[in-house]
Chain A
Amino acid sequence: MGQDGPGDLTMVPVSMGTTIVATTFNGGVILAADSRTSSGAYIGNRATDKITPLCDNVYCLRSGSAADTQAIAGYVQHFIAQHQAEENDRISVKTAATLVRTLAYNNKDNLSAGLIVAGWDKHGGEQIYSINLGGTMTQVPFTMSGSGSTYIYGYADKNWRPNMTQEEAHDFVQRCIRYAIAWDASSGGCIRTVTITKDGVKRVFIPGEEIPPCFGELPREARVG
């Protein structure tokens, strides 16, 4: 805000200029994210995990202010634990998303958080809910958010389709992140994905050096040691 250059780095908010993507496929959902947390031009964490569990079968992708989204996720984890104890059953994805939405909506003046809640439950199957800054919650088969997402709308429009297989969907989302990282300065690092199906959760980590460079990028150095 009116600074030239980063200026006083202690006052620049820590933001996850980010690329986060979630898609449903036949039998589950895949959540994918980059791993860069920045304050201005300084990268606070180059290996962030932006994919946070809310409970066993529901995860969320966080974008916006890192502190705000961590706080929201923390509250919702707590509410879900309480709810599951009363319910004596796994929470549904819709309920988890509703809890996130309620926090986002009621505190909209003080928060800067865009979350994507995705998971699998036995009554609704695979579901994704996108919750934006104002607290709007919409159910979608595919969504993306964060500063890097703007660069991949063209790619997504062309290549997303419903009912992909798990392999197709995984390839699609990791390409989304890869292409966004190539263009967005606020996104980078590695690609993390989480796949949720009725059989459980699987995490995949693709380190930066293993991401094939895009057109115009220099090849990455091999990892030393």
Chain B
Amino acid sequence: MSGIGTGYDLSSTTYSPDGKVFQTEYAQKSVDNSSTVLGLKCKDGVVLACEKLVLSKLLVEGSNRRIHNIDRHVGVAVAGLAPDGRMIANRAWDEAASYKRVYGEPIPGHVLCERVGSYVHLFNLYWSLRPYGATILLAAYDKNGPALYAVDPSGTSLRYFGTAVGKGRQAAKNEIEKLKLAEMTCREAVVEAVKILHKVHDEDGKKFELEVSWVCEESGKEHQRVPADLLADAERQAKAALEDSDMDD
């Protein structure tokens, strides 16, 4: 790994001769090496799903939260360094709360995403700060309908129909492209999301658990964890699909 940006990668206030800021790129690597997180925007809402590696048998199931509520109608899923992601989620919470206080209305998704993007970008500008090593996927259901955004460590914020970040992102994005999201409901998309996460999971025997949330018509346009029975059913279908494809080989 040494030699990639030799000399030009020591601070985020230094450009390389080919115009890169290496510190930002390294922060992006932090996200690329973390466990997979994906988001799907369907016709009636948005689904967020995280693969969480269980690092120890001593951990209580469901701890190590990767999906956070920002406001009733907005949630974020974090990929990369978890504490960094928590800071960004906190800022998003702050922005949403202050918007509601000043303007009397829930913050629209595109406004929140731009504010979070500016905040994350800030950390790429100064020598005394390091860029955040986290990408957040933002699911919002505002008066203009459902929307999915991703904010990466450089502060770029983009709006997606579907996207994935982390270790399994390439394989996951290939699977997502095959889906017809515009015709799917969130209930169906949850099953697809779980199937994808099971499929792209590194088969090195490590146990993993899933954290899946949605904001859609069925949830009353509120961001919530997916009901336990739906999640269990989706896991069953995912495992069955994996076995099927194993048998085909």
Contact = CB atoms under 8 A, between A and B. Distances in A.
B105 A88 contact: no
7 contacts: A83-B103, A94-B105, A95-B105, A98-B102, A99-B102, A99-B103, A102-B102
B103 A98 contact: yes
Nearest to B101: A102
A95 B104 contact: yes
Contacts of A89: 108
A97 interface: yes
Nearest to A86: B111
B105 A87 contact: no
Interface size class of B (residues with CB under 8 A): under 10
A123 interface: yes
Nearest to B103: A95
Nearest to A92: B105
Contact of A97 (B104, B108, B110, B143): B104
A83 B115 CA distance: 13
Contacts of A94: 104-105
Contacts of B108: 87, 89
Given A86-B111, A87-B111, A88-B110, A98 B143 contact: no
Interface string A94-106: 1101110110000
A92 to B, nearest CB: 6
A86 B99 CA distance: 12
A92 B103 CA distance: 9
A95 B103 CA distance: 5
Contacts of B114: 86
